[in-house]
Amino acid sequence: MSFRKHYDIPIAGGRVLELGARPLVMGILNVTPDSFGDAAPTIDPAAAADAALHMEAEGADLIDVGGESTRPGADPVPADEELARILPVLQRLAGRLCVPISVDTYKAEVARAAIDAGAAIVNDISGLRFDPALAGVVATYGAALVLMHTRGRSKSMYAEAVYADLMADVARELEESVAAATVAGVPIDRIVVDPGVGFAKRASHSYGVLAQLPALAQALDRPLLVGPSRKSFLRDASGMRPAPERDWGTAAAVAAAVLGGAHIVRVHAVAEMAQVVRVAEEIRRHQP
Protein backbone atom coordinates (compact mmCIF):
# COMPACT_ATOMS: atom_id res chain seq x y z
CA MET A 1 0.00 0.00 0.00
CA SER A 2 1.35 3.45 -0.93
CA PHE A 3 1.76 5.27 2.37
CA ARG A 4 0.14 8.69 2.65
CA LYS A 5 1.19 10.56 5.74
CA HIS A 6 -1.26 12.88 7.50
CA TYR A 7 -0.55 16.60 7.74
CA ASP A 8 -2.45 19.56 9.19
CA ILE A 9 -1.68 22.61 7.04
CA PRO A 10 -2.58 26.01 8.52
CA ILE A 11 -3.94 28.37 5.86
CA ALA A 12 -4.81 32.07 5.85
CA GLY A 13 -7.95 32.98 7.75
CA GLY A 14 -7.22 30.74 10.72
CA ARG A 15 -8.39 27.52 9.07
CA VAL A 16 -6.51 24.23 8.90
CA LEU A 17 -6.39 22.01 5.83
CA GLU A 18 -6.40 18.35 6.85
CA LEU A 19 -4.42 16.29 4.36
CA GLY A 20 -4.06 12.54 4.31
CA ALA A 21 -7.35 11.04 5.43
CA ARG A 22 -8.44 11.07 1.77
CA PRO A 23 -7.18 12.75 -1.39
CA LEU A 24 -8.61 16.23 -1.90
CA VAL A 25 -9.85 17.50 -5.27
CA MET A 26 -8.67 20.95 -6.35
CA GLY A 27 -10.83 22.48 -9.09
CA ILE A 28 -9.06 24.61 -11.70
CA LEU A 29 -10.60 28.00 -12.43
CA ASN A 30 -8.66 29.69 -15.22
CA VAL A 31 -9.71 33.32 -15.64
CA THR A 32 -7.69 33.71 -18.82
CA PRO A 33 -8.43 34.01 -22.54
CA ASP A 34 -5.73 31.47 -23.47
CA SER A 35 -5.85 28.52 -21.07
CA PHE A 36 -4.84 25.29 -22.78
CA GLY A 37 -7.20 23.10 -20.78
CA ASP A 38 -10.57 24.80 -21.18
CA ALA A 39 -13.00 24.25 -24.04
CA ALA A 40 -13.97 27.94 -23.83
CA PRO A 41 -12.31 30.79 -21.93
CA THR A 42 -13.86 31.90 -18.62
CA ILE A 43 -13.01 35.58 -18.29
CA ASP A 44 -16.35 37.09 -17.28
CA PRO A 45 -16.16 37.53 -13.48
CA ALA A 46 -19.78 36.55 -12.84
CA ALA A 47 -19.48 33.43 -15.00
CA ALA A 48 -16.19 32.52 -13.36
CA ALA A 49 -17.67 32.87 -9.88
CA ASP A 50 -20.61 30.69 -10.90
CA ALA A 51 -18.16 28.11 -12.26
CA ALA A 52 -16.35 28.04 -8.90
CA LEU A 53 -19.61 27.50 -7.01
CA HIS A 54 -20.55 24.77 -9.47
CA MET A 55 -17.23 22.98 -8.91
CA GLU A 56 -17.79 23.16 -5.16
CA ALA A 57 -21.20 21.55 -5.64
CA GLU A 58 -19.60 18.83 -7.79
CA GLY A 59 -17.18 17.87 -5.02
CA ALA A 60 -14.21 20.24 -5.18
CA ASP A 61 -12.42 20.57 -1.83
CA LEU A 62 -10.39 23.57 -3.04
CA ILE A 63 -10.65 26.05 -5.90
CA ASP A 64 -7.46 27.24 -7.62
CA VAL A 65 -7.99 30.63 -9.32
CA GLY A 66 -5.46 31.73 -11.92
CA GLY A 67 -5.17 34.81 -14.12
CA GLU A 68 -2.13 33.88 -16.21
CA SER A 69 -1.67 30.86 -18.42
CA THR A 70 1.63 29.12 -17.67
CA ARG A 71 1.35 26.48 -20.37
CA PRO A 72 4.54 25.82 -22.38
CA GLY A 73 5.07 28.70 -24.81
CA ALA A 74 2.71 31.12 -23.07
CA ASP A 75 3.50 34.83 -22.86
CA PRO A 76 3.85 36.38 -19.39
CA VAL A 77 1.08 38.67 -18.11
CA PRO A 78 1.74 41.91 -16.16
CA ALA A 79 0.65 41.89 -12.53
CA ASP A 80 -1.98 44.59 -13.03
CA GLU A 81 -3.64 42.61 -15.81
CA GLU A 82 -3.54 39.41 -13.76
CA LEU A 83 -5.16 41.24 -10.85
CA ALA A 84 -7.82 42.75 -13.10
CA ARG A 85 -8.81 39.22 -14.08
CA ILE A 86 -8.89 37.51 -10.69
CA LEU A 87 -9.88 40.15 -8.12
CA PRO A 88 -13.47 40.62 -9.41
CA VAL A 89 -13.91 36.84 -9.18
CA LEU A 90 -12.53 36.63 -5.65
CA GLN A 91 -14.74 39.52 -4.59
CA ARG A 92 -17.83 37.78 -5.97
CA LEU A 93 -16.94 34.57 -4.13
CA ALA A 94 -16.48 36.25 -0.73
CA GLY A 95 -19.02 34.82 1.69
CA ARG A 96 -20.42 32.45 -0.94
CA LEU A 97 -17.75 29.78 -1.42
CA CYS A 98 -17.23 27.49 1.56
CA VAL A 99 -14.10 25.64 0.41
CA PRO A 100 -10.68 27.35 0.58
CA ILE A 101 -9.41 29.34 -2.39
CA SER A 102 -5.93 29.00 -3.78
CA VAL A 103 -4.42 31.67 -6.03
CA ASP A 104 -2.28 30.33 -8.88
CA THR A 105 0.44 32.98 -9.17
CA TYR A 106 4.18 33.40 -8.85
CA LYS A 107 4.03 37.17 -8.27
CA ALA A 108 4.27 38.65 -4.76
CA GLU A 109 2.09 41.63 -5.69
CA VAL A 110 -0.70 39.40 -7.00
CA ALA A 111 -0.51 37.04 -4.03
CA ARG A 112 -0.81 39.92 -1.54
CA ALA A 113 -3.92 41.33 -3.18
CA ALA A 114 -5.49 37.89 -3.62
CA ILE A 115 -5.03 36.98 0.03
CA ASP A 116 -6.55 40.33 1.02
CA ALA A 117 -9.52 39.36 -1.18
CA GLY A 118 -9.98 35.95 0.45
CA ALA A 119 -7.43 33.50 -0.94
CA ALA A 120 -5.92 31.22 1.72
CA ILE A 121 -3.25 29.36 -0.28
CA VAL A 122 -0.67 30.50 -2.83
CA ASN A 123 0.14 28.03 -5.62
CA ASP A 124 3.52 29.01 -7.09
CA ILE A 125 4.39 27.10 -10.26
CA SER A 126 7.94 28.47 -10.13
CA GLY A 127 8.92 27.14 -6.71
CA LEU A 128 9.95 30.73 -5.74
CA ARG A 129 12.35 30.96 -8.68
CA PHE A 130 10.48 33.73 -10.55
CA ASP A 131 9.75 36.10 -7.64
CA PRO A 132 11.50 35.19 -4.37
CA ALA A 133 9.62 38.03 -2.62
CA LEU A 134 6.51 35.86 -2.80
CA ALA A 135 7.71 33.86 0.22
CA GLY A 136 7.73 36.97 2.39
CA VAL A 137 4.13 37.73 1.47
CA VAL A 138 3.06 34.18 2.33
CA ALA A 139 4.90 34.35 5.65
CA THR A 140 3.41 37.74 6.57
CA TYR A 141 -0.16 36.74 5.77
CA GLY A 142 -0.03 33.25 7.24
CA ALA A 143 -1.07 31.58 4.00
CA ALA A 144 -0.14 28.08 2.91
CA LEU A 145 2.27 27.69 0.00
CA VAL A 146 2.39 25.15 -2.83
CA LEU A 147 5.86 24.90 -4.39
CA MET A 148 5.96 23.30 -7.81
CA HIS A 149 9.01 21.93 -9.60
CA THR A 150 9.90 23.45 -12.94
CA ARG A 151 12.90 24.80 -14.81
CA GLY A 152 12.98 27.92 -16.95
CA ARG A 153 10.11 30.06 -18.18
CA SER A 154 7.24 28.87 -20.34
CA LYS A 155 9.07 29.37 -23.63
CA SER A 156 12.28 27.60 -22.56
CA MET A 157 11.21 24.89 -20.14
CA TYR A 158 11.49 21.95 -22.55
CA ALA A 159 15.08 22.87 -23.40
CA GLU A 160 15.88 22.33 -19.72
CA ALA A 161 14.15 18.94 -19.48
CA VAL A 162 17.43 17.03 -19.07
CA TYR A 163 17.85 14.92 -15.93
CA ALA A 164 20.72 12.81 -14.66
CA ASP A 165 18.34 11.07 -12.23
CA LEU A 166 14.75 12.25 -12.64
CA MET A 167 13.38 11.77 -9.14
CA ALA A 168 16.60 12.64 -7.35
CA ASP A 169 16.87 15.86 -9.37
CA VAL A 170 13.23 16.80 -8.81
CA ALA A 171 13.48 16.06 -5.09
CA ARG A 172 16.70 18.07 -4.72
CA GLU A 173 15.32 21.10 -6.57
CA LEU A 174 12.09 21.02 -4.57
CA GLU A 175 14.16 20.82 -1.39
CA GLU A 176 15.90 24.02 -2.53
CA SER A 177 12.52 25.72 -2.94
CA VAL A 178 11.36 24.54 0.48
CA ALA A 179 14.59 25.82 2.03
CA ALA A 180 14.14 29.23 0.37
CA ALA A 181 10.61 29.44 1.73
CA THR A 182 11.56 28.55 5.28
CA VAL A 183 14.52 30.99 5.28
CA ALA A 184 12.01 33.70 4.28
CA GLY A 185 9.83 32.83 7.26
CA VAL A 186 7.27 30.36 5.89
CA PRO A 187 6.82 27.61 8.49
CA ILE A 188 7.50 24.15 7.12
CA ASP A 189 4.05 22.97 8.20
CA ARG A 190 2.45 25.39 5.71
CA ILE A 191 4.27 23.99 2.66
CA VAL A 192 2.93 21.55 0.05
CA VAL A 193 5.07 20.36 -2.88
CA ASP A 194 4.12 19.58 -6.48
CA PRO A 195 6.45 17.54 -8.75
CA GLY A 196 5.33 19.58 -11.76
CA VAL A 197 3.93 17.01 -14.15
CA GLY A 198 4.27 18.47 -17.65
CA PHE A 199 6.55 21.35 -16.62
CA ALA A 200 10.14 21.16 -17.89
CA LYS A 201 9.49 17.47 -18.45
CA ARG A 202 9.16 15.37 -21.55
CA ALA A 203 6.28 12.89 -21.61
CA SER A 204 8.53 10.10 -20.35
CA HIS A 205 9.54 12.27 -17.40
CA SER A 206 5.92 13.01 -16.49
CA TYR A 207 5.03 9.33 -16.57
CA GLY A 208 8.14 8.61 -14.51
CA VAL A 209 7.08 11.13 -11.87
CA LEU A 210 3.61 9.57 -11.62
CA ALA A 211 5.13 6.11 -11.30
CA GLN A 212 7.51 7.14 -8.50
CA LEU A 213 5.45 9.42 -6.28
CA PRO A 214 6.00 7.33 -3.12
CA ALA A 215 9.77 7.88 -3.40
CA LEU A 216 9.25 11.63 -3.71
CA ALA A 217 6.92 11.73 -0.70
CA GLN A 218 9.45 9.82 1.37
CA ALA A 219 12.36 12.04 0.27
CA LEU A 220 10.61 15.34 1.01
CA ASP A 221 8.25 14.54 3.91
CA ARG A 222 5.76 17.10 2.64
CA PRO A 223 2.22 16.61 1.31
CA LEU A 224 2.01 16.13 -2.46
CA LEU A 225 -0.16 17.99 -4.94
CA VAL A 226 -0.29 16.43 -8.42
CA GLY A 227 -1.75 18.18 -11.46
CA PRO A 228 -1.91 15.98 -14.59
CA SER A 229 -5.21 17.33 -15.90
CA ARG A 230 -5.49 17.51 -19.72
CA LYS A 231 -1.75 18.03 -20.16
CA SER A 232 0.07 17.30 -23.39
CA PHE A 233 2.07 14.34 -22.05
CA LEU A 234 -1.18 12.34 -22.16
CA ARG A 235 -1.09 12.44 -25.96
CA ASP A 236 1.86 10.04 -26.05
CA ALA A 237 -0.38 7.25 -24.82
CA SER A 238 -3.89 8.32 -25.82
CA GLY A 239 -3.43 10.03 -29.19
CA MET A 240 -3.36 13.58 -30.53
CA ARG A 241 -6.51 14.88 -28.91
CA PRO A 242 -7.08 18.53 -28.02
CA ALA A 243 -6.88 19.34 -24.32
CA PRO A 244 -10.64 19.35 -23.57
CA GLU A 245 -10.84 15.77 -24.93
CA ARG A 246 -8.16 14.34 -22.63
CA ASP A 247 -10.31 13.55 -19.61
CA TRP A 248 -10.09 9.78 -20.04
CA GLY A 249 -6.31 10.01 -20.01
CA THR A 250 -6.52 12.41 -17.10
CA ALA A 251 -8.62 9.88 -15.21
CA ALA A 252 -5.87 7.27 -15.52
CA ALA A 253 -3.23 9.75 -14.37
CA VAL A 254 -5.38 10.87 -11.43
CA ALA A 255 -5.92 7.25 -10.40
CA ALA A 256 -2.16 6.66 -10.55
CA ALA A 257 -1.56 9.77 -8.43
CA VAL A 258 -4.01 8.59 -5.78
CA LEU A 259 -2.53 5.09 -5.75
CA GLY A 260 0.89 6.71 -5.42
CA GLY A 261 -0.14 8.60 -2.30
CA ALA A 262 -1.02 12.08 -3.57
CA HIS A 263 -2.75 14.32 -1.03
CA ILE A 264 -4.34 16.70 -3.57
CA VAL A 265 -5.14 16.28 -7.26
CA ARG A 266 -5.68 19.39 -9.39
CA VAL A 267 -8.27 18.87 -12.15
CA HIS A 268 -10.56 20.58 -14.65
CA ALA A 269 -13.48 18.09 -14.72
CA VAL A 270 -14.35 18.04 -11.04
CA ALA A 271 -17.45 15.82 -11.04
CA GLU A 272 -15.81 13.09 -13.13
CA MET A 273 -12.43 13.18 -11.39
CA ALA A 274 -14.03 13.19 -7.94
CA GLN A 275 -15.48 9.77 -8.84
CA VAL A 276 -12.09 8.60 -10.07
CA VAL A 277 -10.47 9.75 -6.83
CA ARG A 278 -13.03 7.95 -4.66
CA VAL A 279 -12.69 4.65 -6.54
CA ALA A 280 -8.89 4.81 -6.70
CA GLU A 281 -8.79 5.56 -2.98
CA GLU A 282 -10.92 2.50 -2.22
CA ILE A 283 -8.51 0.38 -4.25
CA ARG A 284 -5.59 1.91 -2.36
CA ARG A 285 -7.25 1.19 0.98
CA HIS A 286 -7.65 -2.47 0.02
CA GLN A 287 -4.05 -3.01 -0.97
CA PRO A 288 -2.33 -5.45 1.39
Mean pLDDT of the chain, nearest integer: 94
Q: Which residues of 162-175 are buried (b: 16+ CB within 10 A; e: fewer)?
A: ebeebbeebbebbe
- Does the pLDDT at position 72 exceed 80? no
Sheet holding 264-267: strands in order across?
A: 191-194, 144-148, 121-124, 101-104, 62-66, 24-30, 264-267, 225-226
Q: How confident is the model at residue 111 (pLDDT cuts 50, 70, 90)?
A: very high
Q: What is the pLDDT of residue 34?
A: 73
Q: By the 8 A CB rule, do 7 and 19 touch?
A: yes
Q: What is the pLDDT of residue 235?
A: 94
135 to each of 114, 131, 181, 225, how far by Cα in Å?
14, 8, 6, 18
Q: How confident is the model at residue 70 (pLDDT cuts 50, 70, 90)?
A: confident
pLDDT digits (tens, 9 = 90+) for 138-194: 999 999 999 999 998 877 888 899 999 999 999 999 999 999 999 999 999 999 999
The DSSP symbol for 76 reads P
Of the listed 151, 231, 246, 284, which one is catalytic?
A: 231
**In 10 A of CB 109, how many CB atoms?**
17
Q: Is 266 a catalytic residue?
A: yes
Q: Is 235 a catalytic residue?
A: no
Q: By the 8 A CB rule, do 14 and 273 touch?
A: no
Q: How confident is the model at residue 39 (pLDDT cuts 50, 70, 90)?
A: low
pTM of structure: 0.95
- Does the pLDDT at position 40 exceed 70? no
Gap between the Cα atoms of 37 and 30, Å rounded: 9
- Does CATH place domain 7-285 in 3.30.1540.20? no
Q: How confident is the model at residue 130 (pLDDT cuts 50, 70, 90)?
A: very high
Of the listed 4, 222, 230, 266, which one is catalytic?
A: 266
Stretch among 26-30, 46-50, 123-127, 241-245 having the lowest mean pLDDT: 241-245
Cα dihedral across residues 236, 254, 275, 59: positive or negative: negative
What residue spans define the domains of the chain? 7-285
pLDDT digits (tens, 9 = 90+) for 246-270: 999 999 999 999 999 999 999 999 9
